[in-house]
Each structure stands twice: as structure tokens, then as C-alpha cells.
Amino acid sequence: MNLLAIGCSYKTTPVEVRERLAFKDEQLPRAHTELSAGFDCEAVILSTCNRVELYVGCTVDAESPTRAPGSLDAECISEFLADFHHLPVSSVRPHLYIHRQEEAVRHLFRVAASLDSMIVGEGQIAGQVKKAYEWAVRDDSVGPLLHALFRRARQVARRARTETGISLGHVSVSSAAVDYVKQVFDHFGDKTILVIGAGKMGELTLKHLRQLKPRRIWVTNRSPEKAQSVARGCGGEAMPWEKLDDLLARADIVLSTTGAAEPIVTRKRYEPIAARRTGGPLVVLDIAVPRDFDPSIHDGDRTCLFNIDDLKRIREATLADRLKHIEPAEAIVQQETKAFLKDWSRRRNGPVIARLTQDFDSKRREVLRELLGKLNGKLSDEDRRHIEGAFRLLTNRLLHGPISALTEETHGGGGYALLDAMRKLFRLQE
């Protein structure tokens, strides 16, 4: 296995540099072709808003090696990345990290498991890794090594997500708002959502709230045109601003994001509204800055008010809880890395080990046949079993050293010279 991972991420590189190194979808076919053909290698390009990484690899066939170890030149591939984007390599190289062999495997597995993400446990990166692999397959730049590696990366991501709590909870303000609403109500088919205002954050939060499938959505705004626009986008109904008090008295969930300079619902205004309410509790998600609702109306029973700072605290608590699961997720990555290297070593060394074992076994049987022929009639059946067992044990002990050395050398990132030496020492060539 000859594997390199070269790239940059939010950890190493300013966003303005990452933007210049990013690959657009329409650029990927040419990039994959030039990279794989130019370096005679397999290639997968992972390009997201937070990272740009090139995974390049080649295999050394156990029967007929065609490539010397180390022939994938990290500096040349760094130059390819810079040249492709028409940038001087001197401005790119300081931002790049390089992972080789086992470290490259581990790095991809950590990326796929979202352990290397800006927000630990975010689920988007696993899909991005999958898409990068599928694009490379489409562009015919993937061979046996990267096929096996990226398929294993998907398995690692799945294990981290299902066997640890690293992806539990939501970490955006809008999704945290919905999580809170779901703690108050256990069903939404009879609920009414009132949207006040038309801010961008409100539209994103409304998108999450719509997934709850409420009975209806009302939208009100000082501008009737804006109310109509938001209502059309969410399948809701535009309502007159002048009826805000009536709407608050009948709503179950309020999403407010007006951008007004002063609170639009003071405690004095809200008290008669609360007296008119006859249904269940009212949940107010006040994500406006400055705030739209007087915080003193919150009583934790009939009226539950959450503002942007409250929702950010929920988000931070979720993140803190995820951090507790990093260690078991890292253990999965380490376990899967070792398993992948072991599997790949078995695949690469298997033919040589099988032929070596067969050769030793053939010679053992030949020598044993000659010996037992000379002692014919002088041995009991038990004696024959002891002698055959002793020869078999000797063969196994002789083979243990070379096979173990080959496996250990491969896990250390080499093994090519040793594999070739074993062929020559034991005359295993075709």
C-alpha cells in the first residue's frame, strides 16, 4: 500500500485560501483525470467549505510489483494542487498537511466520523465523503485501494454514529428551537404556528418547524407584501398585523424575528392576551435581536419564552455533551484503522504467504516420505504420528518468523523490499 492524504482544512488555512483551492463540481472530472493519469495512481478529491483534500494511492501487486515504494511524491502532488488553481506553490505549500500510509487511513476515518469537523459529530461530512468517492468512481480514478478505503470509511462513520452519542442532539440555533418545542408538545397535528416578521434566521427555523407538520401556519408582518411572500414559501396564511393580539391568544407556537428596535410585546400588552387564552401552553421562540418579547412574560407553565441566548445555551450544552463521546469514537477509528491495515496486508501478502506455505509443506512431505520409507517396518503407528507432528511443528516455527516480519513491516508502511526479498530467498518467482 502506498497512500497519501494531502490537503488543508479550517484548522490550518484561512477561508480565503480554502476558497481558492476548492474544486467546483464541474472541475472534478478534469482534476481526477489529470491527477490519476499524471501520477499513475488512484485519486479521490474531497472538497467542502471546511476542507480540500487529495487522497492518492497505488498498490504493489504481490506477484509482480511495478512501482517502487515512495514514488508518490508529496511535493509534486502539492504542486499539482497549486498549478490546477493557477496559484504559486509557495503560497499554497505552507497551508498543507501530509499524511502517509497508516496516518492517511486514520485521518480519513476521523474525517468521516466527524471527529475532525468544526462541529464534532455533525452528520454532513459523512455524506460529503461518500459523494467524493462516488464522483471519483464516476471519473474512473478509483482502484482497489481507494475502493476498499472509502468503503471502510463509510463503515467507520456508521459505527461512530450508532455506537456512541457523538451525533446526538442538534447544534444549530434553529434546530435547538425545534428540539425545545418537541419537549413541550408530543404531537403537532392540531397546533397553530404564528410567525411574526420575516428574518433569515426565522425562515430557517420555520423550515425546521414545518417538518413537525402543524395544522396551520399564520404569518404576520407590518408589511403585508412580506407576510404574503413568507406565507407562500411555507404554505401558510398571511394575517393582518393589526390582529396580532388575537393571533397570540389563539396560537400554540410563536416564532418571532422582526428586527424591531423595541419589544413589540411588553408585559403590559401580554397580560390581557394571556387571560384570553383557553388552550394549552404557549411556546414563544424569540430569535430577534433586539428581542421582540419582554422576557418577564415567561412563567415556565402557561407561557414558555426562549430567546436567542437561551437557544445558544442549549446548543452549547449539546456540544459539551458530544465531547464526552469523542474518546469511544476515537477508539472505533483506531480499531478500524488496524483492521483495515490487517485486511489489506492479508490481501497483498496472501498469495506469497500461500505459496511459501505450500512450498514448505511440499518439502516437508517429501523429506518425511523418504525418512518413513527408510524406517519402514521399524515404527509403530504412534511413532509415525509423533514424527509427522514434529515435522509439522518445525515447519510452522520456521514459517512464523518470515510471515510475522512481513506483516509487521507492512503495518509500518513498508514491506515492499521484504516481500521481494522473500520471493528471491525462497525461490517463489513464477
pLDDT at 293 over 50: yes
244 in the same domain as 151 = no
pLDDT at 419: 65
Residue 59 pLDDT class (50, 70, 90 cuts): low
| Mean pLDDT estimate for the chain | 85
The residues carrying an active-site annotation are: 49
Cβ neighbors of 94 (< 8 A, separation 6 or more) are none
CATH code for the domain of 314: 3.40.50.720
Distance CA 3, CA 70 (A): 9
Q: Are 39 and 139 within one domain?
A: yes
| Pair (240, 284) in one structural domain | yes
* Same domain, yes or no: 143 and 87: yes
Structural domain includes residue 208: yes
Q: How many domains does the chain have?
A: 3
The answer on 336 and 397 residing in a single domain is: no
Answer whether residue 179 shows pLDDT above 70: yes
pLDDT at 340 over 80: yes
Residue 300 lies in a domain: yes
Question: Rounded distance, CA 94 to CA 224, Å?
Answer: 54
**Please, which pLDDT band fits residue 407 given cuts at 50, 70 and 90?**
low
**Same structural domain for residues 200 and 221?**
yes
Q: Is residue 40 part of a domain?
A: yes
CATH code where residue 134 lies: 3.30.460.30
Q: Let me know if residue 302 belongs to a domain.
A: yes
With bands split at pLDDT 50, 70 and 90, how would you rate the model's confidence at 146?
A: very high
User: Which contacts (CB < 8 Å, 24+ apart) does range 307-314 have?
Assistant: 308/173, 311/173, 311/176, 311/177, 311/180, 311/285, 311/287, 312/173, 312/176, 314/176, 314/179, 314/180
Beta-sheet pairing, 97-100 with 2-9: antiparallel
Q: Which tops the pLDDT comparison, 186 or 170?
A: 186
Regarding whether 217 and 74 lie in a shared domain, the answer is no
Kindly indicate the confidence band of residue 374, based on its pLDDT and cuts at 50, 70 and 90.
Answer: confident
Residues 147-160 have a mean pLDDT of 94
Kindly state whether residue 177 falls inside one of the protein's structural domains.
Answer: yes
Asked whether residue 312 carries a pLDDT value surpassing 80, the answer given is: no
Residue span of the structural domain in which 355 resides: 348-425
Higher per-residue pLDDT: 402 or 223: 223
142 in the same domain as 16: yes
Question: Are 290 and 364 in the same domain?
Answer: no
Shared domain check, 160 and 17: yes
Q: In which band, very low, low, confident or very high, does the pLDDT at 84 lie, cut at 50, 70 and 90? A: very high
Inside any domain, residue 430: no
Q: What is the pLDDT of residues 5-50, one digit of tens each?
A: 999 998 888 888 888 999 999 999 999 999 998 898 999 999 988 8
pLDDT at 200: 67
Please list, in sequence order, all residues whose beta carbon lies within 8 angstroms of the beta carbon of residue 61, skipping any fewer than 6 positions away: 348
Read off the pTM: 0.63
Nearest to 216 by CA among 202, 198, 195: 195
Q: Which of 3-12, 312-321, 384-393 has the lowest mean pLDDT?
A: 312-321
pLDDT bracket for residue 201 (50, 70, 90): low
What's the whole-number mean pLDDT along residues 379-406? Answer: 81
Return the SS3 of 118.
coil
Which of 17-21, 105-109, 169-173, 385-389 has the weakest average pLDDT? 169-173
pLDDT at 392: 82
